[in-house]
Structure 1
Amino acid sequence: MEAWLAQIPPVTRAWLCLSVATSLAVQCHLVAPLQLYFNFKLAFTNAQLWRTVTTFLYFGSPSLDLLFHLYFFMRYSRMLEESSFANRKADYFWLLFLSSIMLLSLSPLFNLPFLSNPLAYVPVYFWSRRHPSTRVSIFGMFTMTAPYLPFALIMFSWALSGTWHAAAADLVGCAVGHVGWFARDVWTREMIGGRTILSEAPDSLKRLMGDI
């Protein structure tokens, strides 16, 4: 297990370990889901700031849908960190950090108390746009080019959960992922002509994470 974890890039590994630890804590009744979800009033008015973090770590009670999201989040987060963000863990963390802020701001609008699933779709969507000609297979049943992957996964998630609300949360994650991709791959190239704070981590964060 240690050898397998060591092969996972650092940001993805930390996210995975914290998510599994959070789920285990809930299953062992050390914490309750009601203590983890994001609510603007509880988080900022009542100073329960941990909710701005734990909402991204709890994927729900054990279920097929939980395994589905964990598997694809880990697979494509790892692939993205090993390819587009190789040796750039600060930039990858910055992508997830900015995406988290966007999701927190959208949470009240879409009634999304838990934001782990939407955030998990950010690396999936980002990877799919960075590899538009790559063909992918879902469980060996369907083959498609990468840009269609996020929406195919949303349909699977909808089928597994049985509720449109779950699919809506994943769509919000795709929308945030699109903003992140646009800011890095389109805006900086066609409209700005260079990198901005939206596309690259600050130098202070890079030094903190050992990238410079």
Structure 2
Amino acid sequence: MRLVPVIAASALVAACSSGTVGSPVSSPTSSPTSSAPTSSAPTGSPTSTSPKPAPTAAPAAGAGIAAVIAWIEAGTPADPAGFHTMTRDGEATSLGDGVAFTTAGTAANCVTNQYQDGALACLLKLTNPPPRPADAEGEWKGNWVDFPGTTVDVGSVHGDPGPFGNGTGAELPAGRTLAFGDYRCRADAVAGLFCVDYAHQSAVAMNASGVTGFGCLQTVSPPAGIGRRLSC
């Protein structure tokens, strides 16, 4: 008779233990973390690396060199192969690796000067060229511009036509750019001719009103025989 309560008690303990193990456990860590909202932007959203629109207006005096370069590079590239000759009285002269070009109406006649390590030289139609300095000896050329990169000289003495003796190069149309050596130039029908020297991060704008420097170029006192000088 004593075995019945023992067996009944054992069965009761087993039933209670089975119910405890099988019941669900509620815990805040059991919720999936991947379903929580995040603040990150969608993959396809725009970023700051989107290309900037090309500048449409020529840089004004005082513009940064980056803005000048951006405007020059926004032009349509011309093939340099068409600018390696100069023509005078119908006779063409090859410049080899040199480059020569003009702008509309020969407002600017430019050439890489073989006598100055290929530095850019231009003859401009200036409304008011620098006057002849008192210390200038020889034939004065107030519209002659030399731009080797670290300096710009406007007006100088020349006894002969130098690199311009072979005439003029092909016309660089408005809106087109020409790259050669360390330079790139862009012609504009209104603003004139803009040229940058990448090696020195300097640039000039040349038109009938004169020559404007950008980058490191600043007006300084010119040396003997020079009408106006900009220098880095």
For the superposition of Structure 1 and Structure 2, which TM-score range results when normalised by the shorter chain? Answer: under 0.3
The higher radius of gyration belongs to 2
Provide the TM-score with structure 2 as the length reference: 0.22
Provide the TM-score with structure 1 as the length reference: 0.23
